[in-house]
Amino acid sequence: MTGAADHRNPIVSIVALEKHFGAFRVLHHVSLDVFPGEVVCLIGASGSGKTTLLRCINQLAQQDSGAIWVDGELNGFTIANGRLHRRSEREIARQRLATGMVFQRFNLFPHLTALENIVEGPVEVLRRPRAAAAEEVQALLARVGLADKAGHYPAQLSGGQQQRVAIARALAMHPRVMLFDEPTSALDPELVGEVLAVMKELAASGMTMIVVTHELGFAREVADRVVFMDHGRILEQGPAEEVLLRPREARTQAFLSAVLG
């Protein structure tokens, strides 16, 4: 009986999302549920709306219509007397902590060491005592294979190491869901594996993850579900094997052929 899974509540629920930039429709009727512990890989051509969708989930961008629930809360709004009320910036900042974002460019502070980059959030935002936070950060650095790099500055680290620091920095805020936007696209090919290995470990630990990636091998091995986006819509989705090996849609087939060369 696999019924247990069917009764879980989604941890991210996206309903009928629409977003435009001027006259350009970047997201069209996007609906997607992601369940606790699930790894969902988002694939699709450049410009199909993948980044914008992630940015809406963690409220770096705001949709024109539709709704997103994260961990049981409606993003950006409260509902009272049947009406939507915009949340304060402070409330939105609090909500944003539920999702940890890892970008294509690592966005580390160049003047801070690896440890300082990671410890900043827990101390300044979560108001954790610095000594306790630093201890936890050391453990996180060990988890991403960088125990000996705590005192290094970003310029002294490879791209793969910097990206692993960025992952540790997001994890230090104890997010419920991790969002990855092409985390290996800016890396030299020989550094991709070390970052994917950390992401694999994270997935195995039960973290809920939404991953935009062109790494189809990773998607096939790690993703529970693959979602193909095309011109702002979800064109098809399903188990990784199904979408990647037996895509139903011609556009998915064309995209996969292009990526595989």
Nearer to ligand ADP, 47 or 72 (CB): 47
Phi (first) and psi of residue 105, to 5 degrees: -95, 135
Please report which helix (H) or strand (E) contains residue 200, including its range. Answer: helix 189-204
Rounded CA-CA distance 27/137 in Å is 37
List 228's β-bridge partners, or say none. Answer: 43, 236
> What's the CA gap between 242 and 171, in Å, rounded?
31
According to CB under 6 A, which residues from 24 to 53 bind ligand ADP? 26, 44, 46-52
Q: CB 44 → Mg ion: shortest distance, Å?
A: 9
Q: Which two tokens stand for residue 98?
A: 């539920």
| Exposed/middle/buried for residue 108 (C-beta within 10 Å: 0-12, 13-18, 19+) | buried
Q: Which does 21 bind (CB under 5 to 8 A by kind): Mg ion, ligand ADP, none?
A: ligand ADP
Smallest separation (angstroms) from ligand ADP to the CB of 260? 18
In the complex, minimum distance from the CB of residue 130 to ligand ADP, in angstroms, rounded to a whole number: 36
Look up residue 24 and give its amino acid: F
Using alpha carbons, list the distances in angstroms from residue 260 to 192, 197, 240: 16, 21, 16
Shortest distance, CB of residue 205 to ligand ADP, whole angstroms? 27
% helix, strand, coil for the chain, step of 5? 40, 25, 35
52 binds, among Mg ion, ligand ADP, none (CB under 5 to 8 A by kind): ligand ADP
Q: Can residue 51 be called a binding residue for Mg ion (CB under 5 A)? A: yes
Nearer to Mg ion, 51 or 58 (CB): 51
Query: Is position 183 an interface residue for ligand ADP (rule: CB under 6 A)?
Result: no
Q: Least Å distance between CB 224 and ligand ADP?
A: 21
- Residue closer to Mg ion by CB (options 52, 117) is 52
- Under the binding rule (CB under 5 A), the answer on residue 52 touching Mg ion is no
Q: Are 69 and 44 in contact (CB under 8 A)?
A: no
Nearer to ligand ADP, 139 or 259 (CB): 259
For residues 95, 53, 220 and 175, what is the CA-based torsion angle, rounded to 10 degrees? Answer: -10
Choice between 54 and 207, CB closer to Mg ion: 54
26 binds, options ligand ADP, Mg ion, none, Cβ within 5 to 8 A by partner type: ligand ADP
Residue 247 interacts with which of ligand ADP, Mg ion, none, CB < 5 to 8 Å by class: none
* Separation between Cα atoms, residue 131 and residue 165, nearest integer Å: 19
Of 172 and 192, the one with the shorter C-beta distance to Mg ion is 192
Whole-angstrom distance, CA of residue 124 vs CA of residue 119: 8
Residue ranges binding Mg ion (CB under 5 A): 51
Residue ranges binding ligand ADP (CB under 6 A): 21, 26, 44, 46-52
